[in-house]
Structure 1
Amino acid sequence: MDSAISNSPSPSPLRLSRNQGSTSGGSHRPQVLPMAGRAAGVPRLRAISPSPSPPPPPPLPQPVDTFGFDALMETFSVDVVAAEARPLNVPLAAPFTIASSRLEAVSNVAVRVELRSGAVGWGEAPVLPSVTAEDQPGALAAAARACDALAGAAAAPLGAVLQDVAGALPGHAFASARAGVEMALIDAIANSIRIPLWRLFGGASDSVTTDITIPIVTPNEAAQLAAKYRGQGFQTLKLKVGKNLNSDIEVLKAIRLVHPDCSFILDANEGYTANQAIEVLDRLNEMGVTPVLFEQPVHRDDWEGLRDVSIVAMEKYRVAVAADESCRSLLDAQKIIHGNLAHVINIKLAKLGILGALEIIDAARKAHIALMMGGMIETRIAMGFAGHLAAGLGCFRNEGCQGKAWPFGSFTDNGGTINEQLYIHLQQ
């Protein structure tokens, strides 16, 4: 793996509360699900002031083995008394545009699960038709079916219950709905035993490091966002590209004027051909710009193009290439790993489900393939869960996966979406 991965400037660190039981915060039962990014079941994350060189966090005590997720799969008896799915509609402060879609509102699904103990868990099924197979009505109907089955089932070990959910919501076609139900179940269990999710998933760290995303906008708008993020201390910007090569170059030039020292991640969301992706790297090199990562440069099924871009990017410019939309299953991940088609795999819970994501993470770690944790247009319910998972596993940080890891990323600001509120305004 290129040393640019482990040596890239760190974006702002975010710390997870040690006293927080999970994404829904202890055994508190939310009565309503507010809109505009203030959804119930929020993770109690504490934002740390961004710094180009943050001090390392103090060593953390190791989690109690009996509370590990693998152990709970066999030992924790799940007894659900109520479960429901409901629409989660949140207007965006500004449109969010990527190469494959443009959104003006979030149309997701929230899932609430209550155990007989009284513990409540929340999950979210994000919906982005260019990435997820479900639209909101489909995800809502699928999650509701699973919720009805959970509420009517006898108590059973967590592993068996999750397998039943996977059987009812199989494969990529139901991945987002499955992720939402899995989140809610795991969240409720973490609440019931009062263990923070980051501890439940391994306790490697109570913090994560994140870039921040600039969507496809005009050069002037991109410069304004970059200047704002520079003021907030963000050192790595993830730029959505792929709709128009020349316009993408102009945006990069504009950002360089206001944030000359930032690191770039390019995310084409399948928008380029292999030749166009390589041309982008060539033209950036002429500008003296080398991205630290190039995410999903070609169509998800263009395996040959993905491999060609990965080879040129690394051999010519020492730029790592990440597979995102191309990795929708364990089989896809294995193809990427064994074929050396990309250097990094982007894990998104909405395209894989929780158990599916854990399978791919395990495969990537064994193969020493770098990982990044991505998100979509989600509220803090799903993003908070992903943050805890990344922090707990520890392999999304530079010291994880034998030095081969990637900052927890794909967060957009609340000028385009709601997600900056998760980190910057959570305590308000």
Structure 2
Amino acid sequence: MSIYLCSSPTKARAGVEMAVIDAVANSIRIPLWRLFGGASNSVTTDITIPIVTPNEAAQLAAKYRGQGFQTLKLKVGKNLNSDIEVLKAIRLVHPDCSFILDANEGYTANQAIEVLDRLNEMGVTPVLFEQPVHRDDWEGLRDVSIAAMEKYRVAVAADESCRGLLDAQKIIHGNLAHVINIKLAKLGVLGALEVIDAARKAGIALMIGGMVETRIAMGFAGHLTAGLGCFSFIDLDTPLLLSEDPVYGGYEASGPVYKFKNARGHGGFLHLDNNNGWT
């Protein structure tokens, strides 16, 4: 059985659920992506540009363009004017990229709408605006969602605002967002499947994301994503951003594309050296 590491109650639950489901897939000798439905054996992820200077952002964007990444997820929300300058710099070196904006709760509703207004003046329309306001600002989330869609046809995603099925139901019934971001470490695997089911029944689009995870947890999320085949936005890039990869197997990464093999279960394992550290 693969090892799943964790550091909080929710992550602990997710880790145990992953391990048990992985064991089931191993016992019946099928890969996880087939266990979850077998819709596909590959996914294509975006890649994240953190909050950095415009010059640093441009360098990263140029690098990722060379690696084949078409969708860039930009961390914004600290300073509106700085965010705009970063977007301009990226646009110069990767003019054809698609943008996902992730404010991580950093804007007020008015600021979030202003960002979209100023981007429109630049001729830039993001494909998604993730968690523009504080997680408990339900009115602000609704206001941004309405303005973003009516003015610019931009979808808004709830991430931190969706911490379980009750939150998902509130978002769905209140028309508070167009997309719900699923994170296994946030919801647990079984909790995530409940939210996914509710969103699909309501016609709400889905995003898959994660915390800072290795390819053990991220690979599990990738298997689930490929197998279900119901995610409109895929943000599973953190293993690509780690300085060292302590895991081998699980999938093959070629630029933004993760391809899953027919190995039983997850297929990935921790790689330990003789000193019980990462090689």
TM-score if structure 2 supplies the norm length? 0.86
Q: Which amino acid aligns with 2:130?
A: E
Mark the CA change 1:178 to 1:203 in structure 2 (over 3 Å): closer, same or farther.
Answer: same
CA apart distance, 1:424: 4.2
CA contact (8 A) 1:377 1:417 kept: no
CA contact (8 A) 2:77 2:105 kept: yes
Gaps of 5+ in 2: 260-279
Mapping 1:159-198, distance limit 5 Å: 174-198=9-33
Select 1:216's aligned residue among 51, 54, 57. Answer: 51
Confirm or deny that 1:407 pairs with 2:238.
Answer: no
SS at match of 1:121: coil
The Cα offsets for residues 1-37 of structure 1, whole Å up to 9 and x where unpaired, read as: xxxxxxxxxxxxxxxxxxxxxxxxxxxxxxxxxxxxx
Gaps of 5+ in 1: 1-119, 126-135, 140-173, 397-405
Q: Which amino acid aligns with 1:268?
A: A
The percentage of counterpart residues that share the same residue type is 83
Mapping 1:274-285, distance limit 5 Å: 274-285=109-120
Mapping 1:248-397, distance limit 5 Å: 248-396=83-231
The Cα offsets for residues 88-133 of structure 1, whole Å up to 9 and x where unpaired, read as: xxxxxxxxxxxxxxxxxxxxxxxxxxxxxxxx233243xxxxxxxx
CA contact (8 A) 1:273 1:298 kept: yes
Confirm or deny that 1:201 pairs with 2:36.
Answer: yes
Question: In the aligned structure 2, how far is the partner of 1:418 from the partner of 1:235?
Answer: 24
SS at match of 1:275: helix
Mark the CA change 1:386 to 1:243 in structure 2 (over 3 Å): closer, same or farther.
Answer: same
Question: In the aligned structure 2, how far is the partner of 1:122 from the partner of 1:197?
Answer: 15
The Cα offsets for residues 34-93 of structure 1, whole Å up to 9 and x where unpaired, read as: xxxxxxxxxxxxxxxxxxxxxxxxxxxxxxxxxxxxxxxxxxxxxxxxxxxxxxxxxxxx
Confirm or deny that 1:122 pairs with 2:14.
Answer: no
Aligned CA RMSD, in angstroms, stands at: 1.9
Question: In the aligned structure 1, how far is the partner of 2:171 from the partner of 2:243?
Answer: 31
Question: In the aligned structure 2, how far is the partner of 1:415 from the partner of 1:390?
Answer: 20
CA contact (8 A) 2:213 2:238 kept: no
SS at match of 2:233: coil
Q: Which amino acid aligns with 2:104?
A: N
Mapping 1:49-60, distance limit 5 Å: none
Number of corresponding residues: 252
Question: In the aligned structure 1, how far is the partner of 2:150 from the partner of 2:243?
Answer: 36
Q: Which amino acid aligns with 1:217?
A: V
Question: In the aligned structure 1, how far is the partner of 2:243 from the partner of 2:115?
Answer: 27
Question: In the aligned structure 2, how far is the partner of 1:313 from the partner of 1:416?
Answer: 33
CA contact (8 A) 1:121 1:185 kept: no
Question: In the aligned structure 1, how far is the partner of 2:241 from the partner of 2:48?
Answer: 11
The Cα offsets for residues 318-376 of structure 1, whole Å up to 9 and x where unpaired, read as: 10000000000100000000000000000000110000000000000101110010111
CA contact (8 A) 1:176 1:353 kept: yes
Mark the CA change 1:247 to 1:416 in structure 2 (over 3 Å): closer, same or farther.
Answer: farther
Question: In the aligned structure 2, how far is the partner of 1:418 from the partner of 1:307?
Answer: 40
Stretches of 4+ moved more than 6 A in 1? none
